[in-house]
Every structure is written in C-alpha cells, then in structure tokens.
Amino acid sequence: AKATGKARCQIYSPRLSGPPEHDITLEAAMFQAVREGEFLLYYQPIVDARTRQIQGFETLMRWKHPTLGMVPPARFIPIAESNGLINLLGAWALKAACVQLKQFEEVAKRHLYISVNISPRQFRNDKFLAVLDDAIAFSGLLGEQLVLEITEGTLMIDPVHAEAILAKMAQRKARIAIDDFGTGYSSLAYLKRFPISVLKIDRTFIKDLPDSAKDGAICNAVLDLAKHLGLSVVAEGVETEAQMHFLESRGCQYIQGYLTGKPMPANVALAALKESTHA
C-alpha cells in the first residue's frame, strides 16, 4: 500500500522495508536518535570451535526507536554511510566497544578480543586513525585486542590509501579481518598485498553445510588458504551442530552464530561470559 498523509506518519509507519522515499524520514529520525541516544551496541560471542569458550565478541549496532522498535542495521547503516553520520556513530561504537571489553575482561579474568565493523566511509575518513588512537588510549586496551572488520570492497576503493592506513593500524598492533570473505568482486591478490590477519567466511557459504558439496569445497579451500597464509578463520552464521561439526573437523578455529550465541546487550553478554568462563 502507498503511504499517504503527513510526512511524520511515515516515521511512525512500521513498514521498514518500504520504498526509498521513506529513507528521508528515517534519515531525519536518525539525527534525532543520535541526540536522544537511541543507538546501542550488541555483542555476539566468537567462540573457540573445539572448547566453545568465548574468545571475543563482534560489536553490532542497534537502533531502538521509541515507536518503530528495533530498526535493523541493514536499513540504517547505508543511510549513515551516505550522509556521513557513520563517522560519528562509528567513532562512538569503537570507543564504547573498547571500554566494554575492559569490563568483560574483569569478569573473564583473561584476555579477550573485540571485533568492530568499519564502514568504507569511516575507513577513508581523515580522522579515522585519531579515532582509533583515542579508543585505544581511553580504554587502556592493547592494540592487539582490537580486530577491525572491513570488506574486500573497502580495500579496493583506493588500494594505495588502504595500504597506508593498514600499515598504520599494524603499527598499533590492531588486526584486520576481511568481513563477508569471498562475496566481493576482488582478486586474491590483495591477501598478498595487505597485512590481513583474519578471514570471516560469509554466512552464504555456511548456511547449506554440510549438505552442499559446493559450499563444503569452498569452506575447505578457504580454510586451506588461510592455513598456508597463517591467517585465522571465523565462520559466520553457524546455526546448527552439523555445521559446527563440519567446520571444527576441518580445522576452523573460530565460530560465530546463533548456535553459540546471538547478538546480545552487554549485560546479557556478561552473563554468557561468566558461564563460558566457569564451564
């Protein structure tokens, strides 16, 4: 049905998958949301495939609108990316996640790592390294506890610039993960060129395991490639024991998915961590 009436009715419309013109009102609502503090962070456990102990968390942004409810990141991140708000939101998320990790560590009494998504625009922003330094210094984390997730696309927009930024990140010991690995339009040559530490196998290659022979072959190949290049692998979107077993038996070290933990608010993540630590 076509939305009619006042523009503000569209804000209150629950039809979040509507046509692009709705983004204008969603965009206006986003600026208000920043002022009102409606953005928050969820944390999804990344576990060791063999022991299932939590090793770290991926930070996933959430927008809790008073009437729309939870607006999915797939809906608001692209808007923030196009209007530049992602720089503000991303800087906040990075710092808040680093501070949160400190609290997680106090409970776990061991080192953990935090993985944060960095959008293409954020990565290219002049202030990005200053934002990174501020987050590390303010939280007191070690650079090596921070994993920055970028996509193949982010690297390919301007490879020369990417190389310079990645070198500076490496000086700070922060690690780079390739998010959604294998889904971008890029060659494997970048694995040689850039200092990458982690490959995250996209859920599209995981969801039909273990039945799909093709997906099985792709996962095997990625795990093999990573092993020979000395990279870690995180399998994303693991939902079943059968998928988990397939991946573990092929030497995949890290698992992330609904099977081992959904994205959750910090207090729930703390409880999960306590359980994981004392198990």
Residue selected from 12, 31, 138, 258 as contacting ligand C2E according to rule CB under 6 A: 258
Give the nearer residue to ligand C2E in terms of CB position, either 3 or 268. 268
| Interface with ligand C2E in residues 138-167 (CB under 6 A) | none
In the complex with ligand C2E, the residue whose CB is nearer, 191 or 259, is: 259
Strands 39-48 and 54-65, bridge-based pairing = antiparallel
Q: Is 215 in the site for Ca ion (CB under 5 A)?
A: no
H-type alpha helices, 46-187: 73-83, 85-108, 120-124, 128-139, 152-157, 159-171
State yes or no: residue 152 binds Ca ion (CB under 5 A).
Answer: no
Site residues (CB under 5 A) for Ca ion, limited to 108-147:
117
Which of 10/122 has CB closer to ligand C2E?
A: 122
The enclosing H or E element of 235 equals strand 232-236
Residues 170-189 that bind ligand C2E (CB under 6 A): 179-180
Please give the helix or strand (H or E) that residue 215 lies within, else none.
helix 213-229
Residue 19: strand, helix, or coil = coil
CB under 5 A: which stretch of 62-70, 174-182, 185-193, 211-219 binds Ca ion?
174-182
Is 84 a binding residue for ligand C2E by CB under 6 A? The answer is: no
Strand partners, 178: 150, 199
CA atoms within 13 Å, Cβ hemisphere of 3: 19
Looking at the DSSP bridge assignments, the partners of residue 60 are: 42
SS3 assignment, position 252: coil
- Nearest distance, CB of residue 151 and ligand C2E, angstroms: 8
* Cα distance between residue 253 and residue 36, in whole Å: 40
Q: Are 56 and 46 in contact (CB under 8 A)?
A: yes
In order of 6, 150, 197, 205, the CA distances from 231 in angstroms are: 53, 15, 5, 18
57 SS3 class: strand
| Least distance in angstroms from the C-beta of 150 to Ca ion | 9
Stretch that binds ligand C2E, among 55-63, 137-145, 164-172, 242-250 (CB under 6 A): 55-63
CA 55, CA 259: separation in Å to the nearest integer? 15
Contact residue for ligand C2E among 4, 6, 74, 160 (CB under 6 A)? 74
Q: Is 241 in the site for ligand C2E (CB under 6 A)?
A: no
Map residues 16-55 to x or -, x wherever contact with Ca ion holds by CB under 5 A. ----------------------------------------
Residues that bind ligand C2E (CB under 6 A): 44, 59-61, 72-74, 77, 90, 93, 117, 119, 179-180, 203, 236-239, 257-258, 263
Give the interface with Ca ion as residue ranges (CB under 5 A). Answer: 117, 149, 179-180, 236
